[in-house]
Amino acid sequence: MPRSNHRRLGVAMDFSPCSVAALKWAVENFAREGDHIILLIIRPDVNYEHGEMQLWELTGAPYIPLNEFTDAEVMKKYGLKPTPEAIEVSQKAAKDKKVEVLMKIFWGDPREKICQAVDSIPLEALFMGNRGLGPLQRAFMGSVSNYVVNHATCPVTVVKSDNQNKS
């Protein structure tokens, strides 16, 4: 678990271009030496064994250090395949900014689990991408970022990606 004397910054990560943009923004504009950047991964609960999910339902999986989440075999266990760009940004942050990058996996509804993670870790700030859903798509599907902005107990920065779908 990260030491409590350093800032804990969360980045909601699904390895989409918009979530990688949020990670880049957090590293370039907010992170400072000694911070812990925690990549919050929210997985659907249907993909995992019932016992494993029950064990980590409230707290999420144990923290996964950078050297483990860059290991394809370790990530296969969790059904994840981090993108090369996300790994590159994380490694560069660790090296250049001297921050500790960790991954924490939760299972369930992204809106609820991100807000729970803010409180349970706890986070000083959260960064997330905006998928750029149009008004009609948002009305039907809802917006995770909108929900989190309105319910999280820490400051939330929503980063718009350059490669968003504008429809």
Residue range 84-133, pLDDT digits in tens: 999 999 999 999 999 999 999 998 889 999 999 999 999 999 999 987 55
Arithmetic mean of pLDDT, 71-75:
90
- For residue 154, the SS3 value is coil
pTM for this structure? Answer: 0.85
- What's residue 167's pLDDT? 37
Residues 37, 9: contact at Cβ < 8 Å? yes
- What's residue 6's pLDDT? 87
CATH number of 8-160: 3.40.50.620
Residues 103, 63: contact at Cβ < 8 Å? yes
Amino acid at 45: D
Using the predicted structure, report yes or no on whether residue 52 has a pLDDT greater than 80: no
What number of other Cβ atoms are within 10 A of residue 129's Cβ? 25
DSSP labels for 90-109?
HHHIIIII--EEEEEEEES-
Q: What are the extents of the domains in the chain? A: 8-160
